[in-house]
Amino acid sequence: MEPEPTAGAPAPLPEALPRLLRRELAIGGRSIPGRLVFASMSMLGHVAFRELLDEFGGCALLFSEMCSAKTIPTENPRVSNHFRWRPQELPRLVCQIVGAEPEAMARAAARIEAEGFFGVDLNFSCAAATICRRGGGAELLRRPEAALSILERVRRAVRIPVTVKFRMGRGDDPEAAAAMARAFEAAGADALTFHPRVAPDRRARPARWEAIGRVKAAVRIPVFGNGEVVDAEGCLRMLRETGCDGVALGRIAVARPWVFAAWTGLAPAGREPWRETALRLHALLERHFAPRDALVRLRRFMFYYAANFTFGHELFRRVQGAADMGAARQAIEGFFAASPGVCRVPNRNYFQ
């Protein structure tokens, strides 16, 4: 993708970062080409967005948005909005599943293996009430024995890597998180992604990175640190301060999908393709989704993308108000025609 000049000058890339991020990493007998991965993001990490990430490059492993384990065994990828992929991404794509029943999770994992995914990721971190009420996501951290029986059952069902995404338990205790990590390793997890926040806190308090260090020190399997990395300097600091093996990017990856290419040194610094990226995602959404589903996803993306601009609320407002994808495209064109100012890091008021 050809970058274009912008008003905002990005901070220089820390010299050590590309080398650190481009080291291979072994996960459960397989290998990934780097240390920077895309975290699971519901309604944002869909097939169209992942294609956009792939066009930029630099992302070593992609996690799908969470998929309900119950529906996966019978899901038709040609019509499903969530359980859908491009064949070429499968070798680097992990499918995340959410659920509370070991048998259902194992059946979903078996289908994921049969389809050829890199691995399966167990969501023990989602704090959404609809998920927790049914006993899944972060609710499982309150019942560690239930989380472990899911993991053990899935482990027995597949040979592909099994990974776990989890966060701090309700007690906000790094030692308890480290003990949980050890239990996951003993139950057969091949890698962990750890987000050091209690659930639910709506990201109101800062992530406690020191807890990532505790989790990393507790296990031998790879640990991806996750939480509040918004620039290259922060990424380097997370690696150095916590000793984590890699970094999982969530919101900044949505706001600036080229960060994987930029921080791994694949893309030239200083020319960020603001307008082109918004239009490209628009086109990919149109290709992969029915018009209404595409528009819902474009609006969701704009929460994060609009945060890049000094008058981002204008972009946000115009796209939210667009009646269809054609009007949304015009809204994007109109906003960028006025050469908007760019913030050094995305505006956190949008960045929930």
Ligand X SMILES: Cc1cc2nc3c(=O)[nH]c(=O)nc-3n(C[C@H](O)[C@H](O)[C@H](O)COP(=O)(O)O)c2cc1C
User: Which residue, 40 or 340, has its beta carbon nearer to ligand X?
Assistant: 40
Alpha-carbon distance of 144 to 236, in angstroms, equals 32
CB of 260 to ligand X, least distance (A): 13
The residue (of 20 and 252) whose beta carbon lies closer to ligand X is: 252
Q: How far is the CB of 333 from ligand X (least distance, A)?
A: 26
Q: Which is nearer to ligand X, 48 or 252 (CB)?
A: 252
**Least distance between ligand X and beta carbon 200 (Å):** 11
Shortest distance, position 153 Cβ to ligand X, whole Å: 19
Q: Report the residue number, 96 or 242, with the smaller CB distance to ligand X.
A: 96
Q: How far is the CB of 296 from ligand X (least distance, A)?
A: 13
Specify the residue, 126 or 178, whose C-beta has the smaller distance to ligand X.
126
**H or E element in which residue 104 lies:** helix 102-115
Determine the Cα–Cα distance for residues 83 and 117; give it in Å rounded to an integer. Answer: 11
Minimal CB distance residue for ligand X = 250
Beta bridge partners of 121: 96, 163
Within 158-290, residue ranges assigned H as helices are 174-186, 209-218, 232-242, 251-255, 259-263, 274-288
Nearest residue (CB) to ligand X, 44 versus 146? 44
- Give the integer Cα–Cα distance in Å for 191 and 276: 35
Q: How many whole angstroms separate alpha carbon 228 and alpha carbon 3?
A: 26
Distance between CA atoms of residues 124 and 57, nearest Å = 28
CA 93 from chain center: how many Å?
11
Q: Which residues bind ligand X (CB under 6 A)?
A: 39-42, 44, 65-66, 96, 123, 125-126, 165, 195, 226-229, 249-252
Q: Indicate if 126 belongs to the active site.
A: yes
Written as six digits, the tokens of 307 are 């945060």
- Burial class, 324, CB count within 10 angstroms (exposed 0-12 / middle 13-18 / buried 19+): exposed
Dihedral, CA of residue 336, residue 337, residue 343 and residue 347, to nearest 10: -50
If the CB atoms of residues 229 and 322 are measured against ligand X, the closer one turns out to be 229
| Least distance between ligand X and beta carbon 211 (Å) | 13
Nearest-approach distance from CB 206 to ligand X, in angstroms: 10
Catalytic residue from among 95, 126, 235, 244 = 126
* Residue 209 CB contacts under 8 Å (≥ 6 apart), including other chains: 196, 225, 227, 238, 241, 242
Q: How far is CA 139 from CA 120, 162, 297, in A?
A: 19, 20, 27
Tokens of 155: 């482990």
Helix (H) or strand (E) holding 190, with range, is: none
Give the strand pairing for 25-27 and 191-195: unpaired
Catalytic residues: 126
